[in-house]
Amino acid sequence: MRAIAIAVLWGLTLVPAPAFMAFAAAQAAEPGRTPLPAIAIEKPGQCVEPKDVMRRDHMKLLKHQRDKTLHQGIRTKPHSLNECISCHASQKTGSVTGAGGFCQSCHDYAAVKLDCWDCHQPKPGQKTAAGVKP
Partner 1 sequence: MSGDMNRRGFIAAGAALAGLTLAPGIRLIEIASAKPDNEPVTSKVRWGLLIDTTRCQSGCTECVAACGKENGLGEVKKPRTDAQWIRKIDLKELKTGRAVSLPMMCQHCANPPCVDVCPTGASFKRADGIVLVDRHICIGCRYCMMACPYKARSFVHEPHSDQNPEVPRGQGCVEGCTLCVHRVDRGGAPACVEACAAAGHNAMLFGDLNDPESAIAKRIREVKTTQVRADLKLDLGVRYEGI
Compute φ and ψ for 116, nearest 5 degrees: -55, -40
Closest alpha carbon to 38 in 114, 83, 96: 96
Q: Which of 37, 38, 47, 68 binds partner 1 (CB under 8 A)?
A: 68
58 binds partner 1 (CB under 8 A): no
Among 84, 34, 77, smallest CA distance to 54 is for 84
Binding of partner 1 by 99 (CB under 8 A): no
Question: What's the CA gap between 79 and 63, in Å, rounded?
Answer: 9
**Which of 12/129 has CB closer to partner 1?**
129
Q: Does residue 45 bind partner 1 (CB under 8 A)?
A: no
For partner 1, the binding residues (CB under 8 A) are: 66, 68, 70-77, 82, 85, 118-121, 123-127, 131-132
